[in-house]
């Protein structure tokens, strides 16, 4: 499997307020960290199946973060606060997941691995 290259989309950076330069830099560092984590997992994997499983672990972690930031949006609005940063981070994680699914045939592999995990969990539940 080839190395993955991720980036913060320009529209997300442009959506940040004028004083959001630090948030933009934080996003860049977060994306670099995620990219490094994924590429190290790919390099250390014994085969493509192990690499796909490791990438799916990262995708699931990003989905959890997406949901967390998504839950912050109405809370912030309810308290009269601007949710712009929560929205930007939520959109970043959604876009990164999309970038991974668009990378070569990784999207197909991720869906296949997700199917394996669902089936495996279903078998475990039936055995209880």
Evaluate whether residue 116 is within a structural domain: yes
Which residue in 61, 63, 56, 59 sits closest to 117, CA to CA? Answer: 56
Evaluate whether residue 70 is within a structural domain: yes
Evaluate whether residue 40 is within a structural domain: yes
pLDDT above 80 (res 121):
no
Measured distance CA(127)–CA(123) in Å, rounded = 6
**How many structural domains is the chain composed of?**
1
Question: Is the entire prediction scored with pTM above 0.85?
Answer: yes
Evaluate whether residue 47 is within a structural domain: yes
Measured distance CA(4)–CA(8) in Å, rounded = 14
Evaluate whether residue 1 is within a structural domain: no
Range of the domain at 93: 18-127
pLDDT recorded at residue 109: 92
Q: What is the mean pLDDT of the chain?
A: 91
pLDDT tens for 57-107 read 999 999 999 999 999 999 999 999 999 999 999 999 999 999 999 998 899
Residue 55 burial by CB count (10 A; 0-12/13-18/19+): exposed, middle or buried? buried
């Amino acid at each position: 499997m080839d190395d993955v290259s991720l980036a913060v989309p320009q529209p997300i950076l442009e959506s940040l307020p004028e004083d959001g330069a630090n948030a933009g830099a934080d996003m860049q560092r977060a994306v670099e960290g995620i990219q490094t984590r994924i590429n190290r997992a790919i390099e250390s994997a014994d085969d493509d199946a192990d690499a796909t499983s490791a990438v799916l672990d990262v995708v699931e972690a990003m989905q959890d973060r997406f949901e967390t930031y998504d839950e912050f949006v109405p809370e912030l609005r309810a308290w009269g606060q601007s949710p712009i940063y929560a929205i930007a981070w939520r959109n970043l994680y959604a876009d990164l997941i999309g970038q991974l699914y668009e990378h070569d045939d990784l999207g197909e592999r991720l869906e296949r691995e997700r199917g394996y995990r669902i089936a495996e969990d279903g078998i475990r539940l039936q055995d209880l």
